[in-house]
Amino acid sequence: MAAQLLAKPLDPDKPYFGNPLMNKVDTAFKDDRKLTYLNSEGADKPLISPVPDAVLDDARAYRLGRFRDQMAKRDVAALLLYDPINIRYAFESSNMQIWTTHNPMRYAMILADGPAILWEFKGCEHLNDGLPGIDEVRTAISWMFMSKGDKAEGSIGPWADELAALVREHGGGNTRIAVDKLDPPGLVALEERGLTYVEGTELTEIARVIKSPSEIELMRWTIRVCEAGIARIYDHSVPGATERELWAHLHFENARSGGDWLETKLLTCGSHTNPWYKECSDRVCALGEMISFDTDMIGPYGYCADLSRSWTCGYTPMNDTQKRLYATARDQIEHNLALVVPGMSYAEYNAKSWRIPAGHVDYRYSLALHGVGMADEYPVVPLHVDFDEKTAMSGHLEPGMVVCVESLIAEVGSESIKLETQVLITETGHERLDSFPWEDV
């Protein structure tokens, strides 16, 4: 399967997109390796996933099983889910994920000794036909103010009665219910009906942290699509392009290839890269400026490709400062990547991690490493400057985790170099899941 995910080389002399700005650029230093990440059947065509349905079915069963296993370990009778990412993790149900992130109008409950039930937005019940993990679909009861106004309070009772009745029916006397996200009126209503609240975010994060081989295969495809989007950005990184135009190429490749959304808008060029975290704008990129970005892409199958790259606008050789900063960022990535091995504690990782030079400290990225799955996930290891033994989480790296190793390097008056790679922890070490080339410096 891995071989199927690799793009075939393209003709480096072929004009891929008819970009009129390209005619004004000397492409002698353009890196043709990057263009091989475009669709080998034609850059004007979307990528079509080669992943067999059996792989997706296996991932679905594994993920629901992970939730049920964690429920048993925590002795909860039910797990109530409102977070749309958790709902997708459990059931592969992906209706209106962005909208329902801030409008809690669909939810699910997994009964430890009973069915898994999805309450769907009215009129959308049919969208879940054929999803094997869902035992029953019901119509959601909304009690948020936007949908009910001054009648919202009256809708909480029927909602809570229905959930409490299911826990009593299937719980065998256990009234403990874990919840990932819930507005306070709902929590009060459940407790008034005799249920005991258990914080559910820890349960879901711990469940999601270990990926199955089938999940990794789905993630590889998301990364394949992301790297095609990165190649589109690269092919359009010419003077006159705006930050927003460049960022749109990643959106385009993701959307047309079955992906979902981008979590951030982190692509900037030149002086706009420092300080970091500015969102892309209508700023026009100029010849020789550094273009830096962080994909934060939720792609096909709902998995995240969280990659960062930096290069010059117009494919010019880097100047001395750009080279020095880029080489420093690579040093950080390579040093910290070598520490990604099973059994490494987060405290030991911090102690052995690359030390950022004083001139870059004020411009640092606060994380050295973080988990990733269907989004950025547990765990997080802060950069050594920000690692506080009193507040930094405990734990260790385990086989099956996927983490991102980060670098952000800048100094006073400079541009920022942003690099990031996505890594699977194996039984014996690690495997990088992305392969889009770094710059040669």
* 169 contact partners, CB below 8 Å, separation of at least 6: 114
- Per-residue pLDDT at 298 exceeds 80: yes
Q: Which CATH superfamily is domain 53-208 in?
A: Creatinase/prolidase N-terminal domain (3.40.350.10)
User: Taking a C-beta distance cutoff of 8 angstroms, is the pair 385, 429 a contact?
Assistant: no
Tens-place pLDDT, residues 128-177 = 999 999 999 999 999 988 888 888 888 999 999 999 999 999 999 999 99
Torsion of CA 46, 49, 50, 54, to 10 degrees: -160
Residue with the bigger pLDDT between 15 and 278: it is 278
Nearest to 404 by CA among 327, 309, 271: 309
At 19 the pLDDT is 56
Please list the alpha-helical segments (H only) found in 149-288. Answer: 152-170, 184-192, 201-208, 213-235, 243-256
C-alpha count within 13 angstroms, C-beta hemisphere, residue 416: 26
Residue type, 104: P
Strand pairing partners for 381? 369
For residue 107, what pLDDT band results from cuts at 50, 70 and 90?
Answer: very high
Compute the mean pLDDT over every residue in the chain, rounded to the nearest whole number. 94
The span from the CA of 49 to the CA of 220, in Å, is: 11
What value does the mean pLDDT take over residues 29-43? 89
Mean pLDDT over 286-297 rounds to 98
Q: How confident is the model at residue 22 (pLDDT cuts 50, 70, 90)?
A: low
Judge whether residue 3 has pLDDT over 60: no
Stronger pLDDT, 184 or 22, i.e. the higher one: 184
Q: Which of 391, 395, 390 is nearest to 349 (CA)?
A: 395
Q: For the beta carbon of residue 6, count every other beta carbon within 10 angstroms.
A: 12
Taking the CB of residue 106, how many other CB atoms lie within 10 A of it? 24
Domain ranges of the chain: 2-45+211-432, 53-208
pLDDT at residue 13 in the model: 42
Q: What CATH code is assigned to 2-45+211-432? A: 3.90.230.10
- pLDDT cut 90: percent of the chain above it: 89
225 pLDDT higher than 90? yes
> What is the per-residue pLDDT for 148?
86
The yes-or-no verdict on residue 115 having pLDDT over 50 is yes
Question: Residues 382-421: pLDDT tens digits?
Answer: 999 999 989 999 999 999 999 999 999 999 999 999 999 9
Measured CA to CA in angstroms, residue 251 lies from 111, 190, 229, 257, 297 at distances of 38, 41, 8, 10, 9
